[in-house]
Amino acid sequence: MEIKICQNCKTEFVIEKEDFLFYKKIKVPPPTFCPDCRLQRRLVWMVNINLFKRKCNLCEKEVISMYNPKIPFKIYCHKCWWSDKWDARDYGKGYDFSKPFFEQWKELLQQTPILGLSIDTITGELSPYTNHCGQAKHCYMIFYSDYNEDCLYGFYLTQNKSLIDCSVTLESEFCYDNINSFKNYHVFGSSGNVTQSLDCAFLRDCDNCQYCFGSANLKSQKYVFFNKQYSKEEYFKKISEIDLGSYKKYQEIKNKTLNHFLEYIPRPNYDDFSENCTGSYIFQSKNCKKCFNIVGCKDSKYLMMIKLVKVSNSHDYTDWGENAEQIYESMTVGSNIENVYFSHECGYGLNNIEYSKLSTGASNHFGCVSMKKIDYCILNKQYSKEEYEKLVPKIKQHMMDMPYVDKNGRVYKYGEFFPMEFSPHAYNNSFANLFFPKTKKEVEKDGLVWYEADVKEYPITILASQLPDNIKNTTDKILREIIGCSTCPRGYKIIKLELDLSKKLNVPLSRQCPFCRIGDKVNKWVSQMKQVDRICDKCGIDFKTHYTKEKASKIYCKSCYNKEVY
């Protein structure tokens, strides 16, 4: 074990013995940034749920993009970027040993076309209003999601069908307004952590329930209404008196259940089917330390948002997954990859990739941008296998001898992720600002960019408060209206799939624009990705949970909770 001082925040952090073994195995030096600062540095590359209109720099059509049109980058729409109309090698350059590596890579990033929306061709054709999504069929305004169909307005969705306003949801169907939901069918208004349940509404911390309403801390229960057991006939009589298609009634019940939940101690941690793990929202994993929102991982540390299974032997890895091994200090990489370090937005059959962005279907890249299916490349220039293997060690040594130094004196040698100021996203448009919020003054002092949103006059034709209260009274006329959001100045439209699915589920239309309604759930998710020290109010032991004193005045450790509830 060794105690180090973070060169960014100047606080102490510990590198454990097993960490050193990992760094030795992958042949990288130990980090000089603490775990939180490493996460912040990656998250500034993770764009928030913003979308812009801008022209594709190849076909010149106006398209939807994650990139602000004011940034001086070459942005291609998904059709052009994935096409064979251009070759990233045309932007390649020989390595210059008179300049720091990071300066050369930054020049390459600003000159090489990059993908405007991180979506595959299927998603681009069937679900163009999405970002960081794969295999999305007829989806709209979903982000960081994979393998979904007919899903609207959500974040972090995997293998779902027919959802509205759900986030952090896996393998569910016909659901509305849920967060932290797994394998549910026809479940509405879940405020968190409902699994394998059917025909339920307004639950929290419930598993394997059917026909339950407004309840918390249930397991394998039926016909429970506000935590009181009823007969089947009594339960359905009570339910028949509640019309959730009414916006007013829906909000009234939702607020009532949130107050009701204050009487029940929340589940402190979520680590189902996992062994020897620390963190929270860890599922089917083994030997994973300080990890959050992961599934199917083993022998790893500092992972977050691994939504597709089989990740192993990895550290400091955020977003994606799907058969990934030996990944380090990388963001949004995945799908049959191995040995990927210090890289962003790379995927599909990769091996031995370092310091690259948008590498796809190849091996042996160092410092590349938008390289597809071409091996042995450095700064987008292709080499023979022998030339590549001879040059890369020299570049790594050069990075140690001539490091990049930012305006605040932080030193970037081989072994550090890209500097935050290289990100094409404004700090306040990234997830970094959600986890590590900064003021505009602090952002600019740090040499980063702050985004000033354009305040536009939307041609609003109806206010959210003027919408029909009940979905039953809402006609197709609403599809022609531009609705004024109840929370922000934006105007938004209702699409046909949303109206049809809302009628089918008998749930009200939202009074918020997509960005506000998704943003509310994203902010709740962010609060779950950090842990605080608490004392069990039953046995008195110390433990960690994401529930602060303000969110839960009373809390039990996992053992006491299980004894009390189950």
Q: Domain extents for the chain?
A: 129-261, 532-565
355: confidence class by pLDDT, cuts 50, 70, 90: very high
Mean pLDDT (whole number) for 318-325: 97
| Whole-number average pLDDT of the chain | 96
Does the pLDDT at position 89 exceed 90? yes
Residue with tokens 């939702």: 254
Q: What six digits make up the tokens of 303?
A: 């992972």
Q: Long-range pairs for 528-535 at CB < 8 Å and ≥24 separation?
A: 528/180, 528/280, 528/281, 528/292, 529/280, 529/292, 529/293, 529/304, 529/435, 530/435, 531/279, 531/280, 534/268
- pLDDT given at position 163: 98
564 has a pLDDT exceeding 70: yes
In the chain, pLDDT over 90 holds for what percent of residues? 95
Strands 542-545 and 532-535: antiparallel
Tokens standing for residue 507: 């749930």
Angle at 401 between CA 399 and CA 402, to 5 degrees: 65
Tell me the pLDDT tens digit for each residue of 433-486. Answer: 999 999 999 999 999 999 988 766 678 999 999 999 999 999 999 999 999 999
pLDDT of residue 232: 98
Q: Give the pairing of strands 62-65 and 52-55.
A: antiparallel
- Can you tell me the mean pLDDT for 367-382? 98
> What digits encode the pLDDT tens for the residues 212-257?
999 999 999 999 999 999 999 999 999 999 999 999 999 999 999 9
Residue 309 pLDDT more than 70? Answer: yes
Query: Is residue 1 predicted with pLDDT exceeding 90?
Result: no
- Across 81-91, average pLDDT: 97
Strands 157-158 and 131-137 turn out to be: unpaired
Query: For residue 63, is pLDDT > 90?
Result: yes
% the chain with pLDDT above 70: 99
pLDDT of residue 534 exceeding 90: yes
Beta-strand runs (E) in 409-541: 411-412, 462-463, 483-484, 491-492, 532-535
Rounded to an integer, the average pLDDT of 505-534 is 96
Tokens (6 digits) for 22? 């990992």
Sign of the torsion angle spanned by Cα atoms 236, 242, 246, 251: negative
The DSSP code sequence of 33-58 is S-HHHHHHHHHTTSB-S--EEEE-TT
Q: How far is CA 396 from the centre of its chain?
A: 31
What CA–CA distance (Å, rounded) separates 258 from 266? 12
pLDDT score, position 452: 86
pLDDT digits (tens, 9 = 90+) for 112-155: 999 999 999 899 999 999 999 999 999 999 999 999 999 999 99
Backbone angles phi and psi of 173, in degrees to 5: -140, 145
Q: What CA–CA distance (Å, rounded) separates 199 from 478?
A: 28
Q: What is the pLDDT of residue 456?
A: 67
Helix, strand, coil: what percent of the chain each, to 5?
Answer: 25, 35, 40
